[in-house]
Amino acid sequence: MLRKLLKYEWKSVSKILFPLNLGIIVLTVIGCAILTTNIFDTKEALPVALLLVIFYTLSIMSFSGITLVYIYVHFYKNLFTAEGYLWHTLPVARTQLFHSKLLTGCFWCCLNTLFTMLSTAALGFAAGLHAAQKDMDALQRLLMDGSLPTTADSAMAGFSFTDIFGYSPVIFVILLLLTMLTSCISSVLMGYLSILLGQLMEKYRLAASVGFYIGIYLITQTFSSLAMITPNIRLLLDSGNESSSYFLSSFFCTMFPAAIISQLILILIFYFASLFLIRRNINLE
């Protein structure tokens, strides 16, 4: 039965989320095509370039925000409005309804975040490729072994990717993806939990859900920030005595594990709290 629910959920949300996330791909292709031209090589093109950057940033933020909000609204409308009367008459457990929406919501949230990251990376690569056309050897060394050219006029000259970021490129990408995955799952569960808490109120349940979401968001952001900053307090205090490369590598070495562990803790709390609330008697609006 869970498989059938997942199939229905996929068809239902894909009608909105598929074209929405397809917009990220289209925007990225257009942006990369523009960046590979010489259109921005003159000073007169600077205002146009600035407007395009602002448009791209707002568009990406809108795609991400709408995706997450739609996941929340879909969960709320299906289970706690008039549609809920139909859903709760199905011969399935409430936990199965919850898990079908959770899995679908997490998938689309992760996919949207992945598209956003790849879009930013693609535009950055296109811009860097165009700027480095006169020094292809340096670009090739950077892409092949992650080392910066020793002739670069910067404090990072001569350092490898591992010296700066604390991990090899492969491990760095894996940890970045794990951070993205746990963050997406935590975000979806936080919205679901807020909606479930809002249903405990006698009146103004939707407003209460928004209030719970804001409160939980502030608490979790404080918790996550402390989890990432606390291991680096000594490093931050002594940053003036250390090289910039050592500071960055040490910071990334502690930031990723702290972020992943803190998000896993939040996921467990949100998940079991949501399971407890979804099993309670539900008063539909």
Q: How far apart are CA 41 and CA 123, in angstroms?
A: 16
Q: How far apart are CA 237 and CA 90, in angstroms?
A: 59
Q: Which of 159, 156, 182 is nearest to 256 (CA)?
A: 182
Provide the 3-class DSSP secondary structure of residue 244: helix
169: Cα within 13 Å, side-chain hemisphere: 8
pTM: 0.80
Contact 263, 182 (CB under 8 A): yes
Q: How far apart are CA 183 and CA 256, in angstroms?
A: 12
Q: In tens digits, what is the pLDDT along the chain, a chain of 285 residues? A: 778 888 888 888 988 999 988 999 999 998 888 877 776 666 666 777 788 888 888 888 899 899 999 999 999 988 887 776 666 677 778 888 899 999 999 999 999 999 999 998 888 877 777 666 655 555 555 555 544 444 444 454 455 666 666 677 788 888 889 999 999 999 999 999 999 999 888 888 889 999 999 999 999 988 877 877 776 666 556 555 444 555 566 666 777 888 889 899 999 999 999 999 988 766 655
Contact 25, 63 (CB under 8 A): no
Residue range 71-124, pLDDT digits in tens = 999 999 888 877 766 666 777 788 888 999 999 999 999 999 999 999 988 888
Amino acid identity at 102: L
What is the Cα Rg of the chain in Å?
23
Q: Which of 35, 17, 61 is nearest to 122 (CA)?
A: 35
Q: Is the dihedral of CA 53, 188, 99, 205 positive or negative?
A: negative
